[in-house]
Structure 1
Amino acid sequence: MNQDANALPKAVILVSGGLDSATVLAMAHAQGFECYTLSFDYGQRHRAELIAAERISAGYPDVTHKVVTLNLDSIGGSALTDTAIAVPESPTEGIPITYVPARNTIFLSIALGWAEVLGALDIFIGVNAVDYSGYPDCRPEFISAYESLANVATKAGVEGNHLRIQAPLSNLSKAEIIQQGSQLGVDYSATVSCYQADNQGRACGLCDSCRLRKEGFESAGVADPTRYKLA
């Protein structure tokens, strides 16, 4: 995996359209990476996030954006992919029904393949293990294990090009994420975090993702630009 010594290092950035991934893109861009953003049309009910992901990526004229279609709704098992399962509007015990089985494992696998094609050694993902919904594939041990896998499962890794899975938000609170993103100029009004946003991207204000987002802005002392359906 040879790169021009004068070229910017390339990175694939997983961009969902939400607050966290928008911040991660801003971080990677500020670090001088040539950024390639990757989103997934995976059968999610909150499809407004795809429009947001494209909008966020388009805010950087030098960023290339790609959308890959996956039909995770065909296996179901999550309130985010099965409209017959209601999105919880109050906190629940254990891993919530909004967990999409193996989602980040699948997303990172596609990102890893694209990274090899591009000659990129870095993949950025906006997982967080402080203010989050309790998904198992958002924990630091998952990221560490996946990086180990990436380096034994790829041509790049076998040839000695160490691949890095970067999760810079892992140990930050939602307020700290918002503060750092604000310093980098992230336009959070362009992001969609709600699990059941309408077609205009307006948030329900009730689901777990909305609650974490709202509390984050309040704790950060930053005005919440979210558009709510109930407002």
Structure 2
Amino acid sequence: MSDKSLAVVLLSGGLDSATSAAIAASQGYELIALSFSYGQLHQKELKSAQIIAKELDINSHHIVNVDISQWGGSSLTDKSLAIPLSGVNPYQIPSTYVPGRNTVFIALALSLAEAKGAKAIYLGINMIDYSGYPDCRSEYLKTYQDLAKLSSKAGIEGNAPQLIAPLIKKNKVDIIKEAVKLGVPIEKTWSCYQGGHEACGLCDSCRIRDQALIEAGYPFLVTTKGKEIYNLNR
């Protein structure tokens, strides 16, 4: 049995969650990965999560089916809604926002953490480069931490896991630099919102990621379609 403290890491398969997990590992935690099949159209991210877990030597990886797509409300789960492809609009929350997603995910992470005696839960949420999602803000996380202290046996006993979002105030360029420093296999992560075999280069997530890769000095990691779009727009 390892003497290391345990941490649960929410691992979507994307760049931010992979980097957050790598930070947790660098801080000495033994990791338990938690991923969700929530009815997302871009199921390929779960394959990336499995690959990333192996790359980071995470031996315990739970993939939980919690199908919140049944009631729709997001273009990530509802085929009748279009995923925005025209560029990031910083003044409105896009249709890719999934109602209640992080609230559900963190609740299940708290359950897993309490059952396993984990000291921390690491999340890849980010309030700068995401599209104004309400459940990616510092205020949201602080309030959820307060709930964690009240809602469980561990919390009542003063042992509530710490909710840690190491990237919450970092921009995407800094996240990429941190990922490179920690040896995260960026090319094996999946950020595209669309469910194809190749990243589209047009959705908000692809645009933010590709532009940051270029600015950080890693244009060779941009997807093929992203390179075409970038070259056309120069």
TM range (shorter): over 0.9
Measure the CA separation in 1 of the matches of 2:3 and 2:147: 27
The one-letter code of the counterpart of 1:123 is I
The one-letter code of the counterpart of 2:171 is S
Measure the CA separation in 2 of the matches of 1:62 and 1:189: 18
1:124 equivalent in structure 2:
122
2:160 matches 1:168: no
Q: How far does residue 128 in structure 1 lie from its aligned partner after superposition?
A: 0.6
SS at match of 1:11: strand
1:106 equivalent in structure 2:
104
1:215 equivalent in structure 2:
211
Measure the CA separation in 2 of the matches of 1:228 and 1:157: 47
SS at match of 1:13: strand
The one-letter code of the counterpart of 2:25 is H
- For each residue in 1:135-155, what CA deviation from the matched residue of structure 2 results, as whole angstroms up to 9, or x when unmatched? 000001111111110111011
Identity of aligned residues (%): 46
TM-score (norm 2): 0.92
The one-letter code of the counterpart of 1:109 is A
Q: How far does residue 222 in structure 1 lie from its aligned partner after superposition?
A: 2.0
2:193 equivalent in structure 1:
195
Q: What are the equivalent positions in structure 2 for 1:4-153 lying under 5 Å apart?
A: 7-90=3-86, 91-92=88-89, 93-153=91-151
8 Å contact 1:128–1:139 — kept in the other structure? yes
The one-letter code of the counterpart of 1:177 is I
TM-score (norm 1): 0.93
Measure the CA separation in 2 of the matches of 1:134 and 1:224: 28
Between the two proteins, the alignment pairs up a number of residues equal to 225
Q: How far does residue 224 in structure 1 lie from its aligned partner after superposition?
A: 4.2
Structure 2, unmatched stretches of 5+, are 229-234
Structure 1, unmatched stretches of 5+, are none
Measure the CA separation in 2 of the matches of 1:89 and 1:224: 22
The one-letter code of the counterpart of 1:20 is D
Q: 167, 177, 180: which one pairs with 1:179?
A: 177
More displaced stretch, 18-27 vs 217-226 = 217-226
Measure the CA separation in 1 of the matches of 2:47 and 2:124: 18
SS at match of 1:137: helix
1:206 equivalent in structure 2:
202
Q: How far does residue 223 in structure 1 lie from its aligned partner after superposition?
A: 3.2
8 Å contact 1:178–1:217 — kept in the other structure? yes
Quick check: which one's helix share is greater? 2
SS at match of 2:146: helix
